Chains A and B, each alone.
Chain A
Amino acid sequence: MKTKWYLQLLVYTVIIMGALAFLFPFVYMILTSFIKSAYSLPRPKEIFSVVPNLDNYFLVWNKNNFARYFLNSALVTVVSMVGSMLLGCLTAYGFARFQFPGKELLFRVFLLTTMIPGVINIIPQFLIIKNLGLVSTYWGLWLIYIGGGVVGSTFFLRGFFQSIPKEYEESVLIDGGGNWRIFWNIYLPQSLPAIGTLAVLSFQGTWEEYFTALVIIKDEAMRTLPIALLMFNDKYATNYGWVFAASIIALIPTVLLYIVFQKRFVQGGFNEGGVKG
């Protein structure tokens, strides 16, 4: 049956309006980033008559150690993303497939730690990092980021792993493979959509993290990007053109990552048809 044209029109109008509503603030932000000396938020008239230019972008790239912090952030984020994914997958595998005493209890304690707000944690965390002698090192930062990331990814992946049919494991065992092979050749490839999603979330979370980074890193040269971003927010007078230009530069890696992993999000169903009946 063909949909009536006016119904279709209605649906499209709603969809387009929705898309515009979501896009509008972003477009406004991009246009503001072209305006010089925007110490108050510019008006629509100014916004829509602005000539696109990259002046603010070049300016902020050279201000507040922005370029340096960008690279620092890239290093910190990539290492913690890889670390927390790897450890998270292993831990989730353990919780999903092994039986050991106190397993459920341990898992719940794990979950409990995610429910404590970060601000309460920060002083004990700082003291531990300090006693380990890791203040102002990326090792200290990685320890917290990876440690924090593992809990979330374990929770997320455990359910995913449990949904993978046990019959696959049996086939590996029959062929003489061990647990490592089951993990590496069955679980990981089967879970790519979940892992891809998690990787993006982990990247985004670390890339944007401000508070812990500022507490742990005392050396100005080692600071990360969110700190540079907030440096543009002056106590008294803020140039929004710079803030938005800097924010857009900071956004690019996340957007790129989304584009790269986008296919993974939808490509589920590897295991369909792998098991009889």
Chain B
Amino acid sequence: MKFYKKISIGVMSAVLAFSLSACGGTNGGSASNGNSDKTGGNPGNTGSKKVTIEYWHTYGEQEEKVLTEQVVPKFEEEHPEIKVNLTRMPYEGLKEQVIAGVAGDAAPDLMRMDIIWVPEFAKMGALQDVSKMDGFEEVKSSVFKAPMETNYFNNGYYGVPLNTNTKIAIYNKALLEKVGLKEAPKTMDEFVAASKKAMEQGAKGAIGISGPHVWGASPYFWSLGGALTNEDYTEVEGYLNGPESVKALETIVQWGKEGLIIPTMLGGEPGVWDGLKNNEYFMIDDGPWFFSTLMNEENANFNIEDTVWTQMPEGIGGSRSVVGGENLVIFANSKHPAEAWTFAKWLITEEPQKILAKAGLIPTNQKAANDPSVLKEPYMTEYVKQLETALPRTPIPQYGEMETIVNLAIEKAVRGESEPKAALDEAAKNIESILNK
């Protein structure tokens, strides 16, 4: 029996070693593959043969329709030598899909990915540095700065911003009137005072923090003066747990104690939109996707007139929100990097960006974003305005791990399991240790 035990441990470690070395080996292989491709010149462009590029995207249903029926045909008409093969990927397990694809040399040429993933994949060596590509400077100057910066890693740019978004404050009009306001509160103090009144009037929740995590809480945390890192994203200690951040988190915890925050934050019912529609929640925050989904949907029984949407309330940190969105990246082992770049460049020019804006995707191209036809969508103006002051989540390769740590600190604090200062101190220490790894 003992003998078997030993053997099985031996076999297990051999299997593990094999699978690990297999991953490592191919990672290196695919990176060198990409390099040789790049130096190998410009395949296909000069020949008459049609080149097919693979594009993975995660657009929703309405958006995909616009992409396949309007955007891609337009590109193929202008560039008859390139055919774009679209594959819609489900969001579940997507990151693992991409890693498997990269390791097995089966990644597509291009992919639309969450802005927060780019530094991580760039560090892995999976993406091409597009800043060395033809016409990059022009592209860079045509788009908004903040979304562009989410592609930055190690002195290079590993993608281009395809669409951007942020969250704004959305109020229930009936409850606003009930607390005696004609328009939405502008400052944090007015907002908190109105929230208290709304709760007295029988609302079930007033401050719309959707969950104890960075995406849900950061707009309030930042507006209250908190910070995740220093401005260069290099230091956490003294910023995440600095006095302003501690004060900000303490304020949020205090709101929670007073019952001002919507129950959704800690997993309670109703959900954010459900509560808002039923006159139970005073305010929530959300991105533009919901408007576009709801307004393109029949029998959505949602009347946009019942809500007021506006900037996040302004605290000592300003009116802050969080930048979201997607970037377009080219993989290192792309077989046709030149054609992929042609398509990427084209997608962020004015015309295609205007078409996609109709599906609710906020353009990153400055001209397109300020075009009257785009701004006439009722919700677009407020989002574009909020984007001017919105902040990105920390664009570093370790962000995935960092976010888990910050989320835990926020959750511990709002659940009362830890004092805000202690929670942030611990988080800062843990993040420093992964940054210095």
Contact = CB atoms under 8 A, between A and B. Distances in A.
B88 A231 contact: yes
Contacts of B269: 41
Contacts of A235: 58, 60, 91, 289
A218 B270 CA distance: 39
A220 B87 contact: yes
Nearest to B287: A236
A210 B23 CA distance: 22
Contacts of B290: 39, 236-237
Contacts of B19: 120-121, 123-124
B22 A127 contact: yes
Interface size class of A (residues with CB under 8 A): 35 or more
Interface stretch (A103-111, A177-185, A252-260): A103-111
Interface string B266-280: 000111111000000
Contact of B87 (A113, A121, A218): A218
A234 interface: yes
Interface in B378-430: none
A37 B60 CA distance: 15
Contact of B8 (A108, A130, A211, A227): A108
A123 B100 contact: yes
B340 to A, nearest CB: 17
A236 B100 contact: no
Contacts of B60: 234-237
B292 to A, nearest CB: 9
Contacts of B18: 124
Nearest to A122: B100
B12 A39 contact: no
Nearest to A121: B19
Interface string A17-41: 0000000000000000000110111
Given A112-B12, A233-B92, A214 B97 contact: yes
Interface in A215-257: 215, 218, 220, 227, 230-231, 233-237
Interface stretch (B33-41, B137-145, B149-157, B294-302): B294-302
A105 B96 contact: no
Contacts of A7: none
Contacts of B105: 130
A41 B23 CA distance: 41
B293 A210 contact: no
Q: Specify which of B104, B271, B298 lies most central, judged by the most chain A CB atoms within 10 Å of its CB.
A: B104
A211 B96 contact: yes
B408 to A, nearest CB: 22
A122 B96 contact: yes
A37 B300 contact: yes
Interface string B78-113: 000000000111111100110111011110000000
Interface string A107-150: 01100110110011111101100100001000000000000000
A63 interface: yes
Contacts of A231: 88, 90
Nearest to A120: B19
Nearest to A39: B273
A237 B106 contact: no
B271 A41 contact: yes
A223 to B, nearest CB: 9
A43 interface: yes
A109 B61 contact: no
A126 B91 contact: no
Q: Which 8 A-B pairs rank lowest in CB-CB distance, beginning with the nearest? A: A40-B274, A236-B289, A40-B271, A230-B90, A237-B293, A126-B104, A230-B92, A37-B300
Interface of B: 4, 7-8, 11-12, 15-16, 18-19, 22-23, 26, 58, 60-61, 87-93, 96-97, 99-101, 103-106, 269-274, 287, 289-290, 293-294, 297-301
Interface of A: 36-37, 39-41, 43, 63-64, 104-105, 108-109, 112-113, 115-116, 119-124, 126-127, 130, 135, 210-211, 214-215, 218, 220, 227, 230-231, 233-237
25 contacts: A37-B299, A39-B273, A39-B290, A40-B270, A40-B272, A40-B274, A41-B271, A41-B274, A105-B7, A108-B7, A119-B96, A122-B100, A123-B19, A123-B99, A124-B23, A126-B104, A127-B26, A130-B106, A227-B90, A230-B90, A230-B91, A233-B90, A234-B293, A236-B289, A237-B289
